């Protein structure tokens, strides 16, 4: 078969706007050596309409705006326990589904097949909660969004900035009943790398409970030492306590936090700046001042309001906010300076090319531990020094 690129290969984000736009099934998905999916044109089926090229945000970038307002949000204790950060995405989702709208977001219910799903009830929101450090699949989702919009439903779409860009180009016009929310993104590893990591752990823990896999936990939640901790967590067998593997000892997490396993486009991401492509932007509020009055370590969300539609929706949410949810208006720059991905894309270190050269022959574990050897040793040394200080 003769395949043709839709955009420059290294610029493709995998948003799948092109796949959703083709009525002739002329777009096929091919995987690179790391498992990232790249859509290409099957020229034997293509009718030459050019729609796939036209909706591609790598070819036709969407407009972006500097935020108008910034807020810090933290839910009550019950909500904070269930969410990765301060619970902002859950608050927005509850507001929309509670009023007859629908929400699209990333689900990790099947950790081996992370994808966007559609929900329309408050009870379903738990399906979207938690961090999923992998690129979610959006095949077919944009078409569902357009149908809901055409039917007059209120739609909240939550995704990475590049997915927002793809959706906006796919829809080809603004919809008053659509609210887009992007999550500040560090970059995305592929599903193949995550699945290989799970398989490696299952060699030691054959009964590993896959739906217990998590990448960050809120530790010592009820104490003044509460903190968000990164690692690879899972139940070795049903009913057993979580197994905690520190991030620098887990190949997947070391590769993710060491920025060695990202999609190529992530290293030159056009969205990783303080101008945003969505109505609202959510992230952890790193660097939040103590004067905000929130307890540290339990998670606080940053909410950037970027558009007039986003501002109207946000005020609507605030006016109906349930008791127990804390919201403080903050300076925009406070959120930006506390989050590197609001200032520049993830840096492509030499370890990236080393990992990519080693992976096809040696697999995830050996390739990561060799390419990020110094970072791992440094993390271990720092932890050892910290433990010594506690003894003194």
Domain of 272?
69-188+263-342
Q: Quick one: 152 and 196 in the same domain?
A: no
pLDDT digit string, tens, across residues 67-118? 999 999 999 888 888 888 999 999 999 999 999 999 999 999 999 999 999 9
Close Cβ partners of 198 (under 8 Å, ≥ 6 residues apart) = 111, 112, 208, 210, 213
Question: Do 313 and 368 fall into the same domain?
Answer: no
Q: Is the pTM of this model over 0.85?
A: yes
| DSSP string for 271-299 | TSSSSBSSSEEEEE-TT--GGG-PPTTS-
Query: ∠ CA(208), CA(210), CA(211), 5° rounding?
Result: 135
pLDDT band at 296; cut points 50, 70, 90: confident
On whether both 251 and 356 belong to a single domain, the answer is yes
Q: Determine, yes or no, domain membership for 256.
A: yes
Q: How many domains does the chain have?
A: 3
Chain centroid to Cα 115, Å, comes to 11
Helix (H) or strand (E) holding 302: strand 301-305
In a domain, 60, yes or no: no
Q: Is residue 64 part of a domain?
A: no
Q: Are residues 170 and 205 in the same domain?
A: no
Mean pLDDT of 119-139: 94
CATH of residue 42's domain is: 3.30.70
Q: Looking at the structure, do residues 91 and 124 belong to the same domain, yes or no?
A: yes
Cα–Cα distance for residue pair 94/82, rounded to 1 Å: 14
Give the residue from 262, 255, 129 showing the smallest Cα distance to 183.
129
138 domain-assigned:
yes
Given this model, what pLDDT does residue 261 score? 98
| 309 in a structural domain | yes
Verify that 173 and 314 share a domain, yes or no. Answer: yes
Last residue of a domain, one of 342, 357, 374: 342
Instruction: Kindly calculate the radius of gyration of the chain based on its CA atoms and give it in whole angstroms.
Output: 21
Q: 101 and 41 in one domain?
A: no
Burial of residue 96 (number of CB atoms within 10 Å: 0-12, 13-18, 19+)? buried
Q: Within this chain, do residues 303 and 369 fall inside the same structural domain, yes or no?
A: no
Asked if residue 336 belongs to a domain, the reply is yes
Domain shared by 374 and 330, yes or no = no
Note whether 230 and 253 are same-domain residues: yes
């Amino acid at each position: 078969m003769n395949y043709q690129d839709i955009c420059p290969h290294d610029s493709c984000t995998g948003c799948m706007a092109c796949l959703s736009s083709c009525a002739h099934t002329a777009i096929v998905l091919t995987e690179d050596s790391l498992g990232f999916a790249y859509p290409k044109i099957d020229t034997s089926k293509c009718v030459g309409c050019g729609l796939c090229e036209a909706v591609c945000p790598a070819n036709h970038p969407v407009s972006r705006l500097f935020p108008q307002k910034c807020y810090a949000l933290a839910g009550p204790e019950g909500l904070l326990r269930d969410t990765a950060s301060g619970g902002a995405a859950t608050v927005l989702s509850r507001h929309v589904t509670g009023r007859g709208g629908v929400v699209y977001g990333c689900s990790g219910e099947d950790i081996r097949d992370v994808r966007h799903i559609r929900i329309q009830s408050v009870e379903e929101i738990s399906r979207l909660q938690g961090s999923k450090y992998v690129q979610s699949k959006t095949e077919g989702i944009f078409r569902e969004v357009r149908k809901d919009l055409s039917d007059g439903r209120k739609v909240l779409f939550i995704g990475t900035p590049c997915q927002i860009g793809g959706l906006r180009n796919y829809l080809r016009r603004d919809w008053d009943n659509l609210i887009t929310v992007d999550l500040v993104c560090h970059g995305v590893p592929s599903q193949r790398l995550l699945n290989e990591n799970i398989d490696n752990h299952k060699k030691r823990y054959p009964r590993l409970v896959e739906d217990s896999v998590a990448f960050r936990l809120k530790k010592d939640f009820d104490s003044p030492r509460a903190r968000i901790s990164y690692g690879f967590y899972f139940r070795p067998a049903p009913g057993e306590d979580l197994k905690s593997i520190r991030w620098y000892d887990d190949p997947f997490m070391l590769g993710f936090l060491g920025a060695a396993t990202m999609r190529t486009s992530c290293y030159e991401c056009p969205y990783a700046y303080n101008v945003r492509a969505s109505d609202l932007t959510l992230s952890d509020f790193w660097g939040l001042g103590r004067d905000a009055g929130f307890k540290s370590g339990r998670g606080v969300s940053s909410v950037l309001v970027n558009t007039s539609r986003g501002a109207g929706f946000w005020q609507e949410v605030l006016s109906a906010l349930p008791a127990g949810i804390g919201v403080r208006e903050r300076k925009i720059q406070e959120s930006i300076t506390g989050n590197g991905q609001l200032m520049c894309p993830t840096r492509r270190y030499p370890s990236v090319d080393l990992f990519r050269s080693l992976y096809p022959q040696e697999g995830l574990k050996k390739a990561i531990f060799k390419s990020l050897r110094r970072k791992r040793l440094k993390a271990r040394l720092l932890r050892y020094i910290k433990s010594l200080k506690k003894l003194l």
